[in-house]
């Protein structure tokens, strides 16, 4: 099973808007040194909607090369066009990715049957194990428990990143999912509640900035050390809240830039935080 903390990597940019590969490699090295369990390049946190196809491939290739033999790489290759998702996933496999993160197709709002055919087609044609990504707040489509259970029967579909925010739905899934099918939180603030209910970990935004602490929290929960896990969770909780004061990944990149880890550069339509929100975010641990 997939367990622990997997960092949804931000994409650092140079001041001219190009990808800052030096900062990106440095970030990956820090993640690995701090004990992270895996890396997820080219997701929403990586500003994937604004990246060119060749840029996505570069980010996956670099992550796979730096992480080779150390931690797995789950490449974000999802798309709302099934054919394109298959092609991107095949390319990610060639570049060294170990798994693929497949978001629920956005905007075209497929039915449950359409979703099933979309994901199973990718699983059968692309050649990488799939981590599903249920994020109705961005995709406008929810994957209900019966659909997830049906998908979990496919040998090529191994886990779900659950970001529905619906704890009743998540608990239902945790009660009935196959034992080998991993459920990962897609929301840092719900990591502890979900792991208490049986989830295996988190695909995390906060671990870009706090990898060591996120590893301590999730591994403590996996080791049944609730007291330690709760202590770390309570400490980080203000950041979990403030990192979504505006759309992800603007707050976390702003915080990281303030600590000298990357440039405070985004690609439109994302832009800098409003001054009042920037003040709140940067005062999180003052």
Is there a catalytic annotation at residue 224? no
Structure tokens at 89: 């996933």
Rounded to whole angstroms, what are the CA distances from 50 to 47, 54, 102, 217, 270? 6, 12, 17, 32, 9
In contact, 28 and 9? CB cutoff 8 Å: yes
Of 133, 233, 253, 255, the catalytic one is 133
Of 161, 233, 253, 255, the catalytic one is 161
**Sign (positive or negative) of CA dihedral 3, 38, 165, 225:** positive
Is there a catalytic annotation at residue 161? yes
Instruction: Return the active site residues.
Output: 133, 161
């Amino acid at each position: 099973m997939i367990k622990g903390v997997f960092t949804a990597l931000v994409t650092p940019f140079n001041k001219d808007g190009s990808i800052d590969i030096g900062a990106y490699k440095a970030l990956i090295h820090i993640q690995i040194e701090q004990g992270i369990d895996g890396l997820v390049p080219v997701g929403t946190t990586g500003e994937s909607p604004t990246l060119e196809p060749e840029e996505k491939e570069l980010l996956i290739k670099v992550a796979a090369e730096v992480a080779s033999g150390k931690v797995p790489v789950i490449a974000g290759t999802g798309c709302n066009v099934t054919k394109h998702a298959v092609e991107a996933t095949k390319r990610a496999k060639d570049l060294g990715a170990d798994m693929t993160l497949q978001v629920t197709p956005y905007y075209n709002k497929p039915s449950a049957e359409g979703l099933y055919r979309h994901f199973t087609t990718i699983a059968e044609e692309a050649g990488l194990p799939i981590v599903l990504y249920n994020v109705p707040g961005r995709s406008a489509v929810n994957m209900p428990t019966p659909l997830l259970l049906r998908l979990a029967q496919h040998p090529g579909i191994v886990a779900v990143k659950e970001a529905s925010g619906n704890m009743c739905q998540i608990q239902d899934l945790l009660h009935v999912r196959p034992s080998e099918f991993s459920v990962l939180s897609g929301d840092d603030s719900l990591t502890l509640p979900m792991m208490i209910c049986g989830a295996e970990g988190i695909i995390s935004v906060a671990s870009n900035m706090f990898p060591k602490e996120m590893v301590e929290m999730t591994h403590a929960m996996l080791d049944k050390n609730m007291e330690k896990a709760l202590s770390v969770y309570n400490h980080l909780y203000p950041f979990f809240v403030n990192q979504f004061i505006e759309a992800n990944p603007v707050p976390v990149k702003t915080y990281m830039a303030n600590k000298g880890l990357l440039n405070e550069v985004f690609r439109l339509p994302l832009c800098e935080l409003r001054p009042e929100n920037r003040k709140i975010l940067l005062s999180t641990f003052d």
